[in-house]
Amino acid sequence: MIGAALTIARVKFVLEIRRREVIFAMLLFLAATIVIVRVALSGDTGAGTRAAAGMLWAAVVFTAVLGLLRTFAAEHEGGVIDALLLAPIDRASIWLGTALAQFGFLTAIELVAVPVWWALFFQGGGPSVGTVVVALLLANVGIALVGTLSAALALGARTRDVLLPVLVLPLLLPVVLGGVTATYGAFGEEVGGLRPLGFLALYDLVFLALAWGTSEHLLGD
């Protein structure tokens, strides 16, 4: 089952490297959002670190939604999804493979965009790097799990493009809260840096369990 999921994720990566449909759009979107917010806040010196932490997490979640809009799209348009459903593999592995690819895309983009965020907002004395990296990785897992699940639910809906953000954003609100708290806590003067990280890990586990439990019914017939 894990093998099938890895294969699906690999196919998605190969397709993405050839077509360059999703990653570049996501990267540009994230970078543009960061720059726009930095420019919008430029006169306000009081906004400071909390605004920086908040905008990073809002931008990450919106970028993830942008990428999710293309999840399953290729399969749906080409009718590949039917073939995948007929294949003698566990349904959970289709979902898990797609989530893995989504996690990879998000992480790849953040590798480029987060340093930009760092450079634009902090000339010296930013938050502790380790905490922010761990928080982002944990959040990427949750975003990929919940996002892929919602994308599968919205599959075949008439208004899929409008529907998906509406489904995903309330579900991801706890991730944003946890992420902002972790980032803000990583500035040093505040305590409790580990609790939000633990929370993000717990979020991943809870939704992994829920998605796993319902995956058999997920992609429909």
Partner 1 sequence: MPTKRHLTTTVPLALSIVLVPLTIAMAFWWTGEDVDQGLSQKIFYFHVPIALTSYIAFAFGAFSAAMYLWKRTEAWDLRSYVGVHSGTIFGTLVLITGPLWAKASWGVWWNWGDRQLNVFLILFLYYCAYFMLRFSLDEGERRRSASAIFALLGVGLIPMSFLAVRVAQTLIHPTVFTSSGAAMPGSFLLTFLVGMAGMLSLMVLLISVELRGKRTAARVLQLQRSARGEDA
Q: List residues binding partner 1 (CB under 8 A).
A: 149, 153-154, 156-160, 163, 166-167, 169-171, 173-175, 177-178, 180-181, 184-185, 190, 192, 195-196, 199, 202-203, 206-207, 209-210, 214, 217-218, 220-221
Nearest approach in angstroms of CB 167 to partner 1 is 5
Nearest approach in angstroms of CB 185 to partner 1 is 6
Conformation bin of residue 71: beta by default, left when phi > 0, alpha when psi is -120 to 50: beta
Considering beta carbons, is residue 105 or 207 the nearer one to partner 1?
Answer: 207
Query: Got the DSSP string for 147-189?
Result: HHHHHHHHTT-TTHHHHHHHHHHHHHHHHHHHHHHHHHHTTSS
Considering beta carbons, is residue 2 or 205 the nearer one to partner 1?
Answer: 205
Nearest approach in angstroms of CB 84 to partner 1 is 16
**C-alpha to C-alpha distance for 106 and 141, rounded to whole angstroms:** 9
Residue 27 amino acid letter: L
Considering beta carbons, is residue 115 or 213 the nearer one to partner 1?
Answer: 213
Considering beta carbons, is residue 22 or 132 the nearer one to partner 1?
Answer: 132
**C-alpha to C-alpha distance for 119 and 148, rounded to whole angstroms:** 31
